[in-house]
Amino acid sequence: MARVKLEHVTKRYDDGESGVVAVDDMNMDINHGEFICLVGPSGCGKSTTMETIAGLTQPSEGEIYIGERDVTDLPPKDRGVAMVFQNIALFPHMDVYDNISFGLRLRDYPQDEIDRRVERAADIVQLEGMLDRMPDEMSGGQRQRVAIARAIVREPDVFLMDEPLANLDAKLRVHMRTELQRLHKKLDTTIIYVTHDQAEAMTMSDRIAVLDTGELQQIDPPLVCYNEPANLFVAGFIGSPSMNFLNGTVDDGGVETEHFYVKFDPAAVDDLAIGDQVTIGVRPENVHPATKTNEIAYPSAPINARTDVLEPMGDEIFAYLLMGEGNTSMAQETASSDQLLMSIDPDSPIQADDNIQVVLDRERMHLFHGESGDALTHNLVASTDIEATDTRVGSD
């Protein structure tokens, strides 16, 4: 059983005066056979986290366990991990066979065992007949497969993959994504996968770990991260295009933003008081034209807006709406801009520069704390029910 556990792992880089904290008090518990994706923007510490697990970087504080062993002070070779690198990192002076068998030869496996394992690994990644090629005679996808074969041939406890598909073209990437999932099913090994591509993270992983500024923001199954983001950062990072954010103030019957008012019961939400500053989050697919109001169980009041730009994607259209004066903001994710992004049907009659009315699906609206950014609720309607329960409990 190869469970991977990080306990209070911190990595500081001391550049003289200004120390940079790359990983800040990271706690993670990864089960055997789990496929975990570490996602986050550049410089969020996901690669550093990976390197500390691999042993290529020594953490400043904290412990790392693989299986039941404390591996914090072990060199990479003794940790039972195999790694696939972003730049593939095949040894250019060795042919495919030597590359794949490198780790086995170092561990003095008998020759027939090496041959058998290389054969099998090459079979899994479909590299038969290419064992005597040199890396520079191969295409990007083939090299990637050699790198994966090099990792699986050692039958490690844990696979570490650091953006292994980043250097491949789009088509090959999608193909390799499927291959990796198939491989994971076949090998039943713990996989820790670093990516900045959320499509990869959403499709492949059992759980996603979202990192920002070296801190773990949320670690949950993909749909939980999507539907119930723990905070503003996760909400903005997961989902493409990004969630709409609007700043507002809570009063006794709902939340007032610059351009509209949404009803809900603030008393139903924990840690929320009247007068608090909050950020409303609503995904583009939960913004609907007012004509569809009766299809939504709990719509908000209609909001006046003007369509600005339409982006037809084929299966849907992204409509950028402007509210009020319609000042466009260059920064897409700036809260309380006058902009609202809506996803509509491709056969919708809405045109650019139309004045329309839209409604928001209150069951799928998120509230975030105005200062900390922590999620307060993910459903403005359900909270009313909870509130009702709460009052009952309170009145009893």
Q: Of 214-253, which residues contact other proteins (CB under 8 A)?
A: none
Does residue 375 sit in helix, strand or coil? strand
Smallest separation, CB 396 to other proteins (Å): 60
Residues linked to residue 192 through DSSP beta bridges, in sequence order: 36, 160
Smallest separation, CB 38 to other proteins (Å): 17
Closest among 308, 303, 301, 342 to 322, alpha carbons compared: 308
Binds other proteins (CB under 8 A): choice among 24, 63, 65, 89: 89
138 binds other proteins (CB under 8 A): no
76 binds other proteins (CB under 8 A): yes
- Spatial distance between the Cα atoms of 30 and 38, rounded to a whole number of angstroms: 12
- Spatial distance between the Cα atoms of 16 and 254, rounded to a whole number of angstroms: 50
Binds other proteins (CB under 8 A): choice among 28, 64, 90, 235: 90
User: What is 289-303 written as a DSSP string?
Assistant: EGGGGGGSSSB---E
Closest among 345, 364, 351 to 244, alpha carbons compared: 364
Q: Nearer Cβ to other proteins, position 38 or 208? A: 38
Token digits for 165? 């598909």
DSSP-assigned letter for residue 364 = G
Closest among 237, 158, 230, 255 to 199, alpha carbons compared: 237
The binding track of 364-383 with respect to other proteins, each residue x by CB under 8 A or -, is: --------------------
54 binds other proteins (CB under 8 A): yes
Q: Nearer Cβ to other proteins, position 60 or 247? A: 60
Burial pattern 136-156, b for ≥16 Cβ within 10 A else e, equals eebeebbbbbbbbbbbbbbeb
- Spatial distance between the Cα atoms of 294 and 5, rounded to a whole number of angstroms: 49
111 binds other proteins (CB under 8 A): no
- Single out the segment in contact with other proteins by CB under 8 A; choices: 47-55, 59-67, 293-301, 303-311: 47-55
- Spatial distance between the Cα atoms of 148 and 78, rounded to a whole number of angstroms: 19
93 binds other proteins (CB under 8 A): yes
Closest among 326, 276, 317, 280 to 300, alpha carbons compared: 280
86 binds other proteins (CB under 8 A): yes
Q: Of 154-183, which residues contact other proteins (CB under 8 A)?
A: 154, 160
Smallest separation, CB 94 to other proteins (Å): 9
- What is the phi/psi pair of residue 19, to 5°? -75, 140
Token digits for 304? 């006046």
Smallest separation, CB 103 to other proteins (Å): 4
Q: Nearer Cβ to other proteins, position 118 or 246? A: 118
Binds other proteins (CB under 8 A): choice among 33, 62, 67, 103: 103
Q: Nearer Cβ to other proteins, position 93 or 171? A: 93
150 binds other proteins (CB under 8 A): yes
- Spatial distance between the Cα atoms of 146 and 97, rounded to a whole number of angstroms: 9
91 binds other proteins (CB under 8 A): yes
74 binds other proteins (CB under 8 A): no
Binds other proteins (CB under 8 A): choice among 6, 9, 26, 81: 81
Q: Nearer Cβ to other proteins, position 89 or 310? A: 89
146 binds other proteins (CB under 8 A): no
- Spatial distance between the Cα atoms of 305 and 290, rounded to a whole number of angstroms: 11
Binds other proteins (CB under 8 A): choice among 9, 36, 38, 82: 82
Helices 111-124 and 96-106 meet at what angle, rounded to 10? Answer: 130
87 binds other proteins (CB under 8 A): yes
Beta strand 158-162 pairing with 81-84: parallel
| Torsional sign, CA 143, 149, 152, 153 | negative
Q: Nearer Cβ to other proteins, position 77 or 120? A: 77
Interacting residues toward other proteins by CB under 8 A: 51, 54-56, 75-77, 81-83, 85-93, 102-103, 106-107, 136, 150, 154, 160
